[in-house]
Structure 1
Amino acid sequence: MNGGTSVNTTKTSVQKLNKLDHSKAPLYEALCLYEETNRISMHVPGHKNGRVFDKAAQHHFSNVLKIDATCIKGIDDLHQPTGSILEAQSLAADAFGADQTFFLVGGSTIGNLGIALTVCSQGDKILVQRNMHKSVFNGLLLAGAHPIYIAPAIESNTMTAMVSDLQHIEEALAEYPDIKGVWVTNPNYYGMSQDISRLAEVCRQAGIPLIVDEAHGAHFGQAEEVPPSALSMGASLVIQSTHKMLTSMHMSSMLHVNDDIVDRERLARVLGMIQSTSPSYLLLGSLDLARRYLVEHGRNHLKETIQRLENRRGELATELKSLTIWSGSSEVQRRDPLKWIIASKDGAISGYQLHDLFNDQGVVAEISDPRNIVFLFSLNEKEEDIDKVVNAIKAIDQKLQGLSFIPVEKNDIIMFETEGTLYEPKISLQDAFNRKRHKVELDESIGSFCAETVLPYPPGIPLLNPGEEITKRHVNTIKQLHEMGAYFQSPSDDSMETLYVIK
């Protein structure tokens, strides 16, 4: 899958969408009708449409609480949709090119859990790209599945993980003919996207689903200037964080189904088990509105924003002396123009240090890592806001000139095995979670099996999963990341000096 160019101006066919009338927002309109009727609420939620609420915060919450409804007649039920939610989901499927779309109110985490519990049963094997979000591994743990890990490709300039080459995946399918599916992340957190159409065809021929975590690509396929979507490339199941790159409220996502390889009835039952029976209609309504905005205005705004961003990207690429802005490589087929990856030239300072420098300038990055920071732009960024970011970049670039730093080596921190490496942990995720454990010094953990998730965050990709054998590489990486200021989510020891291992 590697090769080709990653220049954003390369055109790609936009999906044949919009068979339905997208001027409507049926779920949002049902919520507005509920508000307009002004009936007496003798049901949950207890804030009674915002009338019983902290007075000091009402200026922020009062309007939205009026439509913070529950499952009553006229609004529809997420778990058995027959009205406005069903119509809203159908419109979303039309907008994104899916056969069927499910609204999610627990973020893409719920989608990943649901897919794992649908595709896998106890003891089933599934091929999983190792740089997946923790929710994928948690889902496989709950399902009792046995993941076969495949090490990702690494982009050599940014040292970020991407989809492994098709040849490696085909070799894995030959070695494990009984797997239940292939699960990859595309794009990665940094907006790097690969062509997975051939992989989708290989999976289709094998009769197994290609599952794509497209959390950071909900806008893909919506304009010629962005990479094609996973749905348009033939993936069976696609998770999108609508709240990340589109405009819905935080924690709202969509799960798209593209074919009948997956049991949809089972998927619906599973989602009914793991989603709240009291879902937020604010989140659901925002998904409906995000779809309408995208189709009615967002696609044009996206094109205009990309033009602005590409002009400024070119300006920065020419002028920067101490910093760099990544603009593609032969290893990446397409890049997301809404993501800017900034690093210091020659690895002079870490991404964590850059994050602090930009924070002092009033610009908060999406993510920082040992080498890079990432700025995330919206569908509709105005010139004046882009100017502020560009000016901050130039100011820090100027500040760094002439200063001396201890270089951060490109290949110093190794998160994964060599690309294409296959490994099946000797102890399954579920077994490791249920076994007795004890805490040891980090240096003494080498050779033991991990009994916790070691998770640099963001982006939430585990360095170690339960059941994986701890190596010297793991220990060195933990030490290096902690020393550089990386944040670890929910560790058993904040100092990262000890680790839980299986007894």
Structure 2
Amino acid sequence: MVSNQNKTPLFDALKAYQERNVIPFDVPGHKHGVGLKEFGEFVGNKVLQIDVNSMKPLDNLNNPIGVIKEAEDLAAEAYWADHSFFLVNGTTSGVQAMIMSVCEPGDKIIMPRNAHKSAINGLILSGAIPVYIQPEINERLGIAMGVSIEDVEKAIARNFDAKAIFLINPTYYGATSDIKSIVKIAHKYGMAVLVDEAHGAHFRFNDELPYDAIELGADMCAVSMHKTGGSLTQSSLLLIKEGLVDEKTVRTVLSLTQTTSASYLLMASLDIARKTLAIHGQELLSETLRLARKAREKINEIDGLYAFGKELIGTPGVFNFDETKLGINVSELGLTGFEVYNILRDEYNIQVEMGDVFNILALISFGDSDESVNALVEALKDISKKYRKDNFKIRFDKISVLENPELIVSPRQAFYSRKKIVKLEEAEGEISGESIMVYPPGIPIVIPGERISKDMIDYIVMLKKQNSSLQGTEDPEVDYIKVLGQ
């Protein structure tokens, strides 16, 4: 990496501002923490002294010409992109900006049905029409993987007029598709390739990890630096390659939804995280991989557990695999992933990323250590002994909910249509006016405009019984759902 990746222009400017002891008569109203003393005593006064507003020495995110622009350019260089945009509304804002930058109302976009809710909301905002590709399913694990080249080619053959293809790199559990080949096919037909790389911010910086999407030729890529890159929660990057995408258009679109009061804490953390990855990423991520491999090896010695990994490469929907995603199948314990998730948190003080019907997911990063990994392994050993249910097996009979639902009207049209409220159990055959999803991971079970099936209802009822965190409906209990009609 070139030498100027050692620079942190925005962070340096923020430190210089703090050292000047400026007398503030601007927002925020806490005035360097004086008006928020209890919070300052807990987090430290310097944190509040650099929670400031845009000004000439610190630049402005909505029209960067100074230190923010310099920091964004360094990020673009680190990721081999032509342009980079700092995001303080999370990768959600980046995903929405990608779709809105290339799709007008009525334009088609090809995408996997296991896309994050931010992509579905991008459809509502843009008015684009989704053409869904069914992701490959690993039936043993009960999870969706990547998409096949053959399914992408079929979708293109039926929709030559699509404006873009939307991909995920990697999936929540670490699987990647053959993005390089898909990019080549898409570009042959003039389609832009947009990639949700929320869980792949680290890919670029270690040669044992899968390739990042920009390096593989994608046109736009939204990257959650806060997830795997080390920055503060809610801070992300949007990367673009020029050609099918125009940098000025993207910036204009971002200005529609991104705040005009961008947090300098978040932006400075992006500046530092980029430097850390660019300068030390290879060694830090090699250690991360060592910890992840150690955890897999030890967990796979525990009766009833299967920590899946690179052995999945070559199976349907798995072109490559991110080993830092520690997915653990728990079904042979006779427990659901939801149950193990709760036991780890409540009994062992360990918070994993998520649980589903069959698995839990732990994320290993360069913030981990042998001690933290050992604590997880020992807790899982104990759970296997104390909580295992002999003579009980979870039946794999709910995979149909992952099949592509029937889209009746566009998500945007459904969102703005008149609606009525019905009981969830009585909604079969109705056209949904809301989304329902489990968070995490935030992949919708049903979205506005889709016909509600019995499988969907049964799956949602099962999730409710597991006390899963369901979101999307106005009814917080998800006993009722809005559907189209009067």
TM-score relative to the length of structure 1: 0.92
Q: How does 1:19-30 map to 2 (within 5 A)?
A: 19-30=2-13
Q: What code does the residue aligned with 1:226 have?
A: L
What is the SS of the residue equivalent to 2:221? strand
Does 1:184 pair with 2:184? Answer: no
Q: How does 1:200-279 map to 2 (within 5 A)?
A: 200-279=183-262
Aligned partner (choices 408, 426, 435) of residue 444 of structure 1: 426
Partner of 1:396: 383
Q: What code does the residue aligned with 1:404 have?
A: D
Distance between the aligned counterparts of 2:266 and 2:60, measured in 1? 14
Distance between the aligned counterparts of 1:413 and 1:176, measured in 2? 27
Distance between the aligned counterparts of 2:409 and 2:298, measured in 1? 52
Contact residue 305 and residue 381 of structure 1 kept, 8 A: yes
Aligned partner (choices 303, 306, 324) of residue 338 of structure 1: 324
Cα deviation, residue 405, structure 1: 5.7
What is the SS of the residue equivalent to 2:204? coil
Contact residue 322 and residue 398 of structure 1 kept, 8 A: no
With over 3 angstroms needed to count, the CA separation of the structure-2 counterparts of 1:496 and 1:78, relative to structure 1, is closer
Cα deviation, residue 335, structure 1: 2.0
With over 3 angstroms needed to count, the CA separation of the structure-2 counterparts of 1:425 and 1:347, relative to structure 1, is farther
Does 1:382 pair with 2:369? Answer: yes
Q: What code does the residue aligned with 2:284 have?
A: H
Cα deviation, residue 104, structure 1: 0.2
Partner of 2:407: 425
CA RMSD in angstroms, aligned pairs only: 1.7
Partner of 2:292: 309
TM-score relative to the length of structure 2: 0.95
With over 3 angstroms needed to count, the CA separation of the structure-2 counterparts of 1:316 and 1:55, relative to structure 1, is closer
Contact residue 449 and residue 467 of structure 1 kept, 8 A: yes
Cα deviation, residue 263, structure 1: 2.0
Contact residue 126 and residue 181 of structure 1 kept, 8 A: yes
Q: Which moved more, 1:144-153 or 1:212-221?
A: 144-153
With over 3 angstroms needed to count, the CA separation of the structure-2 counterparts of 1:118 and 1:324, relative to structure 1, is same
Distance between the aligned counterparts of 2:42 and 2:295, measured in 1? 37
Distance between the aligned counterparts of 1:253 and 1:284, measured in 2? 9
Contact residue 302 and residue 380 of structure 1 kept, 8 A: no
Cα deviation, residue 424, structure 1: 6.8
Distance between the aligned counterparts of 2:454 and 2:406, measured in 1? 19
Cα deviation, residue 215, structure 1: 0.1
What is the SS of the residue equivalent to 1:212? strand
Contact residue 449 and residue 470 of structure 1 kept, 8 A: yes
Which consecutive unaligned segments of at least 5 residues does structure 2 have? none
Aligned partner (choices 147, 153, 158) of residue 164 of structure 1: 147
Cα deviation, residue 454, structure 1: 1.1
Aligned partner (choices 123, 127, 144) of residue 106 of structure 2: 123
Aligned residues: 480
Distance between the aligned counterparts of 2:321 and 2:252, measured in 1? 36
Relative contact order, higher structure (CA 8 A, sep 6+): 1
Partner of 2:358: 371
Q: C-alpha offsets along residues 413-456 of structure 1, whole Å, 9 cap, x if unaligned?
A: 43321xxx6x7722111111111111122232111101111112
Partner of 1:86: 69
Distance between the aligned counterparts of 1:405 and 1:363, measured in 2? 28
Q: What code does the residue aligned with 1:491 have?
A: T
Q: What code does the residue aligned with 1:159 have?
A: G
What is the SS of the residue equivalent to 2:227? helix
Partner of 2:129: 146
Q: What code does the residue aligned with 1:269 have?
A: T
Distance between the aligned counterparts of 1:130 and 1:353, measured in 2? 26
Q: C-alpha offsets along residues 174-216 of structure 1, whole Å, 9 cap, x if unaligned?
A: 1111111000112111112222110011111111111110100
Distance between the aligned counterparts of 2:144 and 2:295, measured in 1? 26
Contact residue 162 and residue 186 of structure 1 kept, 8 A: no
Q: C-alpha offsets along residues 328-377 of structure 1, whole Å, 9 cap, x if unaligned?
A: 32422322221211222536210011112211111111011011110111
Distance between the aligned counterparts of 2:428 and 2:380, measured in 1? 41
With over 3 angstroms needed to count, the CA separation of the structure-2 counterparts of 1:411 and 1:230, relative to structure 1, is farther
Cα deviation, residue 241, structure 1: 0.5
Cα deviation, residue 61, structure 1: 4.2
Aligned partner (choices 450, 462, 473) of residue 480 of structure 1: 462
Distance between the aligned counterparts of 1:157 and 1:347, measured in 2? 14
Distance between the aligned counterparts of 1:20 and 1:238, measured in 2? 25
Partner of 1:406: 392
Which consecutive unaligned segments of at least 5 residues does structure 1 have? 1-17
With over 3 angstroms needed to count, the CA separation of the structure-2 counterparts of 1:71 and 1:405, relative to structure 1, is farther
Identity of aligned residues (%): 35
Distance between the aligned counterparts of 2:226 and 2:400, measured in 1? 31
With over 3 angstroms needed to count, the CA separation of the structure-2 counterparts of 1:145 and 1:333, relative to structure 1, is closer
Q: C-alpha offsets along residues 47-68 of structure 1, whole Å, 9 cap, x if unaligned?
A: 1111221336523142211111
Contact residue 148 and residue 424 of structure 1 kept, 8 A: no
Q: C-alpha offsets along residues 103-132 of structure 1, whole Å, 9 cap, x if unaligned?
A: 000000111121122111111111121111
Aligned partner (choices 271, 283, 291) of residue 300 of structure 1: 283
Contact residue 31 and residue 75 of structure 1 kept, 8 A: yes
Partner of 1:6: none
Does 1:355 pair with 2:341? Answer: yes
Distance between the aligned counterparts of 1:337 and 1:185, measured in 2? 16
With over 3 angstroms needed to count, the CA separation of the structure-2 counterparts of 1:265 and 1:452, relative to structure 1, is same
Contact residue 429 and residue 467 of structure 1 kept, 8 A: yes
Q: How does 1:28-177 map to 2 (within 5 A)?
A: 28-55=11-38, 57-177=40-160
Partner of 2:178: 195
With over 3 angstroms needed to count, the CA separation of the structure-2 counterparts of 1:38 and 1:54, relative to structure 1, is closer
What is the SS of the residue equivalent to 2:137? strand
